[in-house]
Structure 1
Amino acid sequence: MVISRKHLAKAKLEQLKNGYSAYTESTEVAFHLEREIKKHNLRVHIDRTPLGSWFIPIKDEE
């Protein structure tokens, strides 16, 4: 079964929108996810490691 990397990125974007962190080992998925984050103007901390990338939503202080 083949899973689209763009589809994975959109699923991870939904996680971020819901306040959850997302992780990917794939540089291609990370690239697509970063583009989607910029499109939606989300505030996200990106932690890149040799094994993959963590995307952590930044919560606004109330």
Structure 2
Amino acid sequence: MIINRKELARAKVKELQNGFSAFAETKEVVDLIKKEIEKLKLDVHEDVTDVGSWFIPQKS
């Protein structure tokens, strides 16, 4: 099974837009998510751990 990293990142950003947290394990996916967050100007907190990054939407 081939995983498209861009589609994975878009799905995780959609979760953020719907108010849910998202987790990414690889630097590539984390970078893609960050890029989309900036583009959409989402208010999201990033919690970096040893195994990946959690993205947590902030309530306005």
TM-score norm. by structure 2 comes to 0.97
Q: Which has the larger radius of gyration?
A: 1
Consecutive unaligned residues in structure 2, runs of 5 or more:
none
Provide the rounded CA distance (Å) in 1 between the counterparts of 2:15 and 2:40: 13
Provide the rounded CA distance (Å) in 1 between the counterparts of 2:26 and 2:4: 12
Aligned-residue CA RMSD in angstroms?
0.5
Aligned residues: 60
Find the residue that maps to 2:45 and give its secondary structure.
strand
Provide the rounded CA distance (Å) in 2 between the counterparts of 1:27 and 1:21: 17
Provide the rounded CA distance (Å) in 2 between the counterparts of 1:36 and 1:6: 10
What are the within-5 Å matches in structure 2 for residues 1-62 of structure 1? 1-60=1-60
Consecutive unaligned residues in structure 1, runs of 5 or more:
none
Query: 4+ residue runs of structure 1 moved beyond 3 angstroms?
Result: none
